[in-house]
A and B are shown apart, each in its own frame.
Chain A
Amino acid sequence: MSIVVIGAGPAGLAAARSALRAGADVTLLDSSDQLGGQFWRHLPETSRAAKQHVLHHKWSTFEALASEITQHPRCTIVTSAQVWLLEQRDQGTPRVHAHVGPVDSGGRESLTLEPDALILATGAHDRTLPFSGWTLPGVYTAGAAQAIAKSERIALGSRVVVAGAGPFLLPVAQSLALTGARVRGVYEATTLPALARGWGAKPWKLGAAVGKMPELAGYVASHVRHSIPYLTGRAVVEAHGTDRVEAVTIARVDENWAPIAGSETKIEADAVCVSHGFTPRLELAIAAGCSIGPDRFVEVDARQRTSTRGVYAVGELTGIAGADAALAEGEIAGHFAARGPRSAAVSRAARSRDRFVDFGVRLDAVHAPRRGWTHWLRDDTVVCRCEEVTRGELDSIRSQTASCGLRSLKLSTRAGLGICQGRICGRSVEELLGDNFADGVPTDRRPIVSPVRIGDLAGQALGGSQPDERSPEEPPPQ
């Protein structure tokens, strides 16, 4: 039984370990040159840190997972492996095409795998809603602040504003504080009444989870220790500066996230870190033909199986529920993908998953962006960062063409057609253009997952299976 796991964050690592324990041969791929994913993104191997664990939650879990997997004789770990295409086959699990080598370089080695089962653990990335000035240098996603603090020990600013929505803002503020920055405040758009209603609606369900949520409890404690103000019902509505950010305007927002006129205050800052939740990285799941639910996560059954035979999905692909849920899902998927028997351990994992997923998904729903955010945009606010398409242009072209197709509007406005392929602006563009499209084509579909050098493709065309083989039919150009 051969299993490929794509993504080496908590879910992917747990899946790999569990599949190995159940007897499978495992190949674990990750685009980074380290294990751990974004959650455990850490210092490069060239740095040494006696107490790296203080920067992380559950670092010992990571060390145990990484140690068992790397030493396992049936595990092949391929880091710096960028999967660029999943190819559906008439029979069998989708074929995996990756290039292995330095990030975005040419001449990477080609790797093609045809596993018996495929476990997708590609995670999620920050979703940042646009606001005027968000393209200025010095404005970052919250995830950037976190990743660069943990892996480079660089604080993106000395006086930092953290804003957006969701519990993730807390560990970001903590990381910044532990990296020497002064966090001027954390501004959560969700209003206090909405938070109270959301968190308190079914306290008997939350009770058990919160007790086992030291992750969150730890962040709250750190917050208090670093004396970071935490304000709800507030959003960054504009960043100011000429060639870099110098200040932001914070406004109070209503329950629908529409800014309240007259409530604006301007705060000086040299870095602004803003995220409004997460977007799952669905492109591989879509390429594999997995069915996606109305909530736009991959649909899975109790064994983490997707609608595509042989393909499993774990972690944030199935819902934003945090690392504990991801670990449990990975354990279940790895076990069943390897055709492991029912066991007490996997039943425990299933109970743990159900609890944490329930908690996490509820949290995510409480903090999910509300449509009032569009009111803080101006006509000249850039929405698509790559192609520099403004809100005014989106509105104008939509009213001019009166198109009923999202795809048509994308191609007419160029929103989402740039090099990030709509990852950053896609959902915001959809919300701005309205949701009454006759084509229903979402912005998540990206059959080519990552830009790939033509030379690397050409090197393998016309029958050659060796990456370096050049076809004689294709003379080197002079």
Chain B
Amino acid sequence: MTARRLPAQHDPAERTDPERVRITVDGAELTGPAGSTIAGILLENGRDSWRTTSRDSRPRGVFCGIGVCYDCILTVGAERDVRACQRRACDGDVVSLQEETRPDAAGEGAS
């Protein structure tokens, strides 16, 4: 575990945290303070990668942190390509990690 949310009692900003929200990520339940982004909750819970790239099957997570690079995208509900670093977690969000295999690698599908 590398990324860490600074405990409120040590924060020079004298912060008090709100109640926690609960999300599931590929079935696992994770929590974080209300107002966190989905990336924030993942990072706080020791996950620093959650996407697998399409060509080389490499792990990716946050890179730019400001919504520009789209490296941190995941699926929320039925919607793909949601930027985890920008989307605030809502209590009960069902998050899944994205499959990204390319057609040329996957081979022909239906017929």
Residues of A within 8 A of B (CB): 31-33, 38, 41, 43-52, 54-55, 102-106, 125-126, 135, 137-141, 143-148, 151-158, 178-180, 243-244, 270-271, 385-388, 418-420, 423-424, 451, 453
Min CB–CB distance A338 → chain B (angstroms): 30
Nearest residue (CB) in A for B55 is A388
> Which B residues fall within an 8 A CB radius of A?
2-6, 10-18, 33-37, 39-40, 43-44, 48-49, 53-56, 58-71, 73, 76, 79, 81-83, 85-88
Binding site secondary structure of chain A? loop
> B2 and A271: CB pair below 8 A?
yes
Closest residue of chain A to B87 (Cβ to Cβ) is A103
The answer to whether B65 touches A144, judged by C-beta atoms less than 8 angstroms apart, is yes
CA A245 to CA B52, docked complex, whole Å: 16
A451→B69 CA distance, assembly (Å): 12
Say whether B5 contacts A154, CB under 8 Å.
yes
B60 touches A55 (CB 8 A): no
Q: A49-B14, A49-B15 are in contact. Are A154 and B4 (CB under 8 A)?
A: yes
Q: Which residues of B contact A154 (CB under 8 A)?
A: 3-6, 40, 43-44
Closest 6 CB pairs of A and B: A144-B65, A44-B35, A46-B35, A137-B49, A50-B14, A270-B2
Contact among A31, A49, A155, A388 for B3, CB-based, below 8 A: A155
Interface of B is mostly: loop
Question: Can you give 17 contacting A-B residue pairs, CB < 8 Å?
Answer: A38-B66, A43-B35, A47-B18, A49-B14, A50-B15, A103-B82, A104-B82, A104-B86, A137-B49, A141-B66, A144-B65, A147-B85, A148-B43, A154-B3, A178-B12, A385-B63, A419-B70
Do residues B56 and A388 form an inter-chain contact, with CB atoms below 8 A?
yes
| Most-contacted residue by chain B among A33, A43, A154 (CB, 10 A) | A154
Closest to B2 in A: A270
Q: Is the CB of A102 within 8 A of B88?
A: yes
Complex Cα–Cα for A271 and B83 (A): 21
In the complex, the answer to whether B88 meets A180 with C-beta atoms within 8 Å is no
In the complex formed, the residue of B with least CB distance to A48 is: B16
Residues of A within 8 A of B71 (CB): 385-386, 420
Residue pair B53, A388 in contact (C-beta under 8 Å): yes
A382 — nearest CB in chain B belongs to which residue? Answer: B56
Q: Is the CB of A46 within 8 A of B34?
A: yes
- Beta-carbon contact of A420 and B68 below 8 Å: yes
Would you call A424 and B15 a contact (CB within 8 A)?
Answer: no
- Say yes or no: B83 contacts A243, CB within 8 Å: no
Inside 8 A of A244's CB, which chain B residues have their CB?
2, 48-49, 59
- The docked-state distance in angstroms from the alpha carbon of A453 to that of B79 is 9
A148 to nearest B CB, angstroms? 5
Determine which of A50, A135, A158, A385 lies in contact with B4 in the assembled complex, contact meaning CB atoms within 8 Å: A158
A44 and B81 contact, CB distance less than 8 A: no
How near does chain A come to B53, taking the closest CB pair, in angstroms?
6
A139 touches B11 (CB 8 A): no
Across the interface, which residues of B come within 8 angstroms of A54, CB to CB? 12-13
Assess whether A386 is in contact with B70, with CB atoms less than 8 Å apart: yes
Q: Is the CB of A104 within 8 A of B79?
A: yes
Q: Are A51 and B55 in contact (CB under 8 A)?
A: no
For B63, give its contact among A31, A139, A158, A178 (CB under 8 Å). Answer: A139
Docked Cα-Cα span, A287 to B11, in Å, equals: 43
- Report the Cα distance A301→B5, complex, angstroms: 45
Q: How far is the CB of B84 from chain A (nearest CB, A)?
A: 9
With CB as the reference atom, state the residue of chain B lying closest to A148. B65
CB distance from B57 to the nearest CB of A (A): 10
Q: Are B81 and A419 in contact, with the CB atoms below 8 A?
A: yes
Q: Which of B5, B36, B56, B69 has the most CB of A within 10 A?
A: B69
Q: Which A residues touch B55, using CB under 8 A?
A: 387-388
Question: Given A50-B14, A141-B64, are A180 and B6 also a contact pair (CB < 8 Å)?
Answer: yes
Question: Is A43 within 8 A of B81, CB to CB?
Answer: no
C-alpha gap A340/B47 in the complex (Å): 52
Q: Which residue on A lies nearest to B50, using beta carbons?
A: A137
A387 to B: closest C-beta gap in Å: 7
A146 nearest in chain B by CB position: B65
Q: How far is the CB of B103 from chain A (nearest CB, A)?
A: 14
Residues on the A chain within 8 Å of B85, using CB: 144, 147-148
- A50–B16 Cα distance when bound, in Å, is 9
Cα A156 to Cα B44 with chains together (Å): 9
Chain B hits for A157, CB < 8 A? 2-3
CB distance from B4 to the nearest CB of A (A): 6
Among residues of B, the one whose C-beta sits closest to the C-beta of A53 is B13
User: Are A48 and B6 within 8 A (Cβ)?
Assistant: no
- Report chain A residues within 8 Å CB of B53: 135, 388
Task: Give A123's nearest chain B residue, CB to CB.
Answer: B66
| A153 with B11: CB separation less than 8 A | yes
A270-B4 Cα distance, complex, nearest whole Å = 12
Q: Which residue of A lies closest to B12 (CB)?
A: A54
* Nearest opposing residue in chain A for B57, CB measure: A388
Give complex CA distance A126, B36 in Å. 22
